[in-house]
Amino acid sequence: MKQISIVFMLTLFFMASCKTEKVKTDTKSDFQFNVEKFADLKILRYPVTGFNDLSLKQKELLYYLSQAAIEGRDIMFDQNYRHNLAIRRTFEAIYENYTGDRNSNNFKALEVYLKRVWFSNGIHHHYSTDKFVPGFDSDYFLSLINEIDESKLPVNKKHIEETLVPVMFNPQIDAKRVNQQQGVDIIATSANNYWGENVSQAEAEAFYNEMKDPNNKTPVSYGLNSRLEKEKGKLTEKVWKVGGVYSPAIEKIVFWLEKAATVAENDEQKQVIDYLVDYYKTGKLETFDKYNVAWLADQDSHIDFVNGFIETYGDPLGLKASWESLVNFKNIEATHRTEIISENAQWFEDHSPVDPRFKKKKVKGVTAKVITAAMLGGDCYPATPIGINLPNADWIRKEHGSKSVTIENITYAYDQASKGNGFLEEFAYSQKEIDRARKYGFQADNLHTDLHECLGHGSGQLLPGVAGDELKAYGATIEEARADLFALYYMGTNKIVELKLLPDNEAFKTAYDDYIRNGLMTQLTRIKLGNNIEESHMRNRQLIARWAYEHGKDEKVIEKKNKDGKTFYVINDYIKLRELFGQFLAEIQRVKSEGDYETAKQLIETYAVKIDPDLHAEVLERYEKLDLAPYSGFVNPVYKVVKDDSGKISNITLDYTEGYTEQMMRYSKEHSWLPSYN
């Protein structure tokens, strides 16, 4: 892939136990982390810890950036599927205007469907990318449509009946948003809106291969901010910019970014914002690269943000980027941990078990910090990463470095919301595992994220002549495996204890327990019985866990055990397991550095895709008894602007009382700028 997606969407199953590390917070003790639960989803709330300590100017900057983060919401819906906005708005019209029985089972099922559409930014599951099935039939849906004045609907009733009804209720139509299955045209069989309806995979690959500089002297991420369509037989890019596709929403984003520039903390930060605005206005990817380089260079600003077309998970070819935003500020106290990691980046690179050809002789620009999320938007909302390493472009990372963050108020919210739910007790083999997780879990989880983002993604180098897109659809899984293996390998070293990143040589074991347990069992709760694993992060975790299990079988490094009729995977030799992680890291780095597509394919298809059906059924049955939701997302705080008698901003406060439905309906009314079809 030219653009390798590296937002770390770490499964938070292993945060399901009661962990005891104290976290400094200005949140009231009665803060409500849990908002509501429906289908397989749980809605949480995150505290913006430290907001009250910011200056008025910093609060104002956060407010403007946060508004920009909300304005692109419609873009994400449209990118995910061309009918999403029409469907969302139709259901919102029903929800707002229907005067019949709202307590019937059918209407309650309709509410759940709408909530799922909001959560997934469309009608395909946010993680599996499968289209979810309404819990009501088409006759009931049409009966509600017929009771509503057509002027209140986003499209006419004929279009709803002839187009939207088949799309929603026929499971064969556009069944999967992102299809990674081999042996088929993965563009033609993916429902996302990154490619025109008649564009084939072969045509798309040829189109962008033709753009490449054979000498890689102009390493632009071609295709990142456009939809490729076919007009009169000719392939044409429709660029996402002011005056182009998504212009109404992008204009609003630019409006708030320009206001943010007026209260920037310093000239460097203002330059970052100015480059981003210029990029949105021109659509030039060279300007986007300038923005990324300037963003990396800004190390002094307390406030930071991501805004733009960034990650490529939603495109099976890994070229087209989804729109996202994350507004944040630095957690100074917790950042000390990541500063230690950054300062020792060269040591970690030098002592990596990979071939010296693939190591960086001099690590450049590796910076890391712990942040407090202040607003989530686009592909970061409602479901959000817990860590980020950017920019994605390999050439920028090689020449200028990368910036890594761990979002600790999000991990803290997950931890607090999951207390006492019984998950760890069900899937951990022994009380020793449980006690160790409670003692070290939160600290170990955050360190794993730090190492994954800061050093894992920033480590290694491609061989000369390797562009970075040779692994195609397997690239995202290989990249995530590389970063995870780097973190796992180093967590078990004495160096980590010497640097006081973990308290002792026992702490890393809980990370290993969690990873193997999750990779081989508990992440299966997110997959329907009979399905394969298709999401890149889940493939990565099973790839590592199963490879380690199989390669350590003779020595019983990891042992499959049965207790009380239940399956468990137990680590018998943590030191040997670390050695296996090191061996696999060396191979994964070689695959990436050499662009070895065939080995990437063989590894992933062998270890990462297939699921033992009997184990899967058992895990699902055990999990169902806990009555938990396998996926979580968040509502954002509401920023309240306080003005004095002259109309000047005198303060900005946060309100945490808005509910999930309230927020979604408000966003759809106040921050929805695109037509239903773009």
Distances (CA, A) of 304 to 4, 59, 341, 374, 396: 22, 12, 20, 10, 19
Q: What is the pLDDT of residue 406?
A: 85
- Whether 620 and 520 map to the same domain: the answer is yes
Distances (CA, A) of 219 to 289, 325, 362, 581, 616: 10, 24, 21, 32, 43
For the segment 581-602, what is each residue's pLDDT rounded down to a tens digit? 999 999 999 999 999 999 999 9
Query: DSSP letter at 33?
Result: -
Evaluate if residue 27 carries a pLDDT over 70: no
- Whether 142 and 266 map to the same domain: the answer is no
- Whether 92 and 19 map to the same domain: the answer is no
Evaluate if residue 15 carries a pLDDT over 50: no
Q: What is the pLDDT of residue 217?
A: 65
Alpha helices in 170-308 (DSSP H): 201-211, 247-261, 267-282, 285-297
- Whether 255 and 319 map to the same domain: the answer is yes
Q: What is the pLDDT of residue 453?
A: 83
- Whether 450 and 582 map to the same domain: the answer is yes
**Residue 182's CB: how many other CB atoms inside 10 A?**
12
Q: What type of residue sits at position 270? A: K
Neighbour-count burial for 269-308, b at 16+ CB within 10 Å, e otherwise:
bbbbbbbbbbbbbbbebebbbbbbbbbbebeebbbbbbbb
Torsions phi, psi for 569 (to 5 deg):
-115, 120
Evaluate if residue 11 carries a pLDDT over 50: no
**Residue 494's CB: how many other CB atoms inside 10 A?**
8
Evaluate if residue 358 carries a pLDDT over 50: yes
What's the mean pLDDT when you consider all of the chain?
92
Distances (CA, A) of 593 to 466, 541, 655: 7, 20, 48
In 3D space, the residue among 448, 650, 485, 645 whose CA is nearest the CA of residue 578 turns out to be 485
Neighbour-count burial for 216-250, b at 16+ CB within 10 Å, e otherwise:
eeebbbbbbbbbbbeeeeebebebbbbebbbbebb
Q: Which is higher by pLDDT, 618 or 28? A: 618
Q: Mean of the pLDDT values across residues 168-178?
A: 96
Q: What is the pLDDT of residue 26?
A: 55
371 within 8 A of 389, measured Cβ to Cβ: no
* This model's pTM is above 0.85: no
The answer to whether residue 642 is domain-embedded is no
For the segment 467-481, what is each residue's pLDDT rounded down to a tens digit? 888 998 899 899 999
For the segment 198-227, what is each residue's pLDDT rounded down to a tens digit? 999 999 999 999 988 776 666 789 999 999
The answer to whether residue 611 is domain-embedded is yes
pLDDT band at residue 56 using 50, 70 and 90 as cut-offs: very high
In 3D space, the residue among 30, 10, 72, 24 whose CA is nearest the CA of residue 377 turns out to be 72
pLDDT band at residue 2 using 50, 70 and 90 as cut-offs: very low
Tokens of 113: 């469907």
Q: What is the pLDDT of residue 9?
A: 39
Q: What is the pLDDT of residue 216?
A: 61
- Whether 404 and 534 map to the same domain: the answer is yes
- Whether 257 and 345 map to the same domain: the answer is yes
Tokens of 609: 């895709």
The answer to whether residue 544 is domain-embedded is yes
pLDDT band at residue 12 using 50, 70 and 90 as cut-offs: very low
The answer to whether residue 201 is domain-embedded is no
- Whether 117 and 64 map to the same domain: the answer is no
Evaluate if residue 318 carries a pLDDT over 70: yes
Q: How many domains does the chain have?
A: 2
**Residue 30's CB: how many other CB atoms inside 10 A?**
5
Tokens of 285: 């990817």
Tokens of 301: 């600003």
Segments forming the whole domain that contains residue 559: 7-74+250-633
- Whether 370 and 345 map to the same domain: the answer is yes
The answer to whether residue 192 is domain-embedded is no
Strand-pair partners of 632: 42
Q: What is the CA radius of gyration of the chain?
A: 24
Q: What is the pLDDT of residue 181?
A: 85
Beta-carbon contacts of residue 539 (< 8 Å; ≥ 6 apart): 477, 533, 604, 608, 609
The answer to whether residue 240 is domain-embedded is no
- Last residue within a domain, chosen from 136, 160, 176: 176
Tokens of 522: 């508990």
- Whether 40 and 99 map to the same domain: the answer is no
The answer to whether residue 519 is domain-embedded is yes
For the segment 239-261, what is each residue's pLDDT rounded down to a tens digit? 999 999 999 999 999 999 999 99
Q: What is the pLDDT of residue 182?
A: 79
In the chain, the percentage of residues whose pLDDT exceeds 70 is 95
Long-range CB contact pairs, 416-425, < 8 A, 24+: 416/33, 417/33, 417/34, 417/42, 417/44, 417/632, 418/12, 418/15, 418/16, 418/17, 419/18, 420/18, 421/16, 421/626, 421/628, 422/626, 423/13, 423/16, 423/17, 423/522, 423/626, 423/628, 424/16, 424/17
Sort 312 into a burial class: Cβ within 10 Å, 0-12 / 13-18 / 19+: buried
pLDDT band at residue 385 using 50, 70 and 90 as cut-offs: very high
384 within 8 A of 633, measured Cβ to Cβ: yes
The answer to whether residue 28 is domain-embedded is yes
Residue found by looking up tokens 């200056």 in the block: 55
- The region that residue 86 occupies, defined by phi over 0 for left and psi between -120 and 50 for alpha, beta otherwise, is alpha
Q: What type of residue sits at position 90? A: T
- Whether 260 and 136 map to the same domain: the answer is no
Q: What is the pLDDT of residue 405?
A: 86
- Last residue within a domain, chosen from 176, 208, 235: 176
- Whether 423 and 327 map to the same domain: the answer is yes
Q: What is the pLDDT of residue 28?
A: 55
- Last residue within a domain, chosen from 142, 176, 210: 176
For the segment 321-333, what is each residue's pLDDT rounded down to a tens digit? 999 999 999 999 8
For the segment 409-452, what is each residue's pLDDT rounded down to a tens digit? 998 999 888 777 889 999 999 999 999 999 999 889 889 988 99
For the segment 624-637, what is each residue's pLDDT rounded down to a tens digit? 999 899 899 999 99
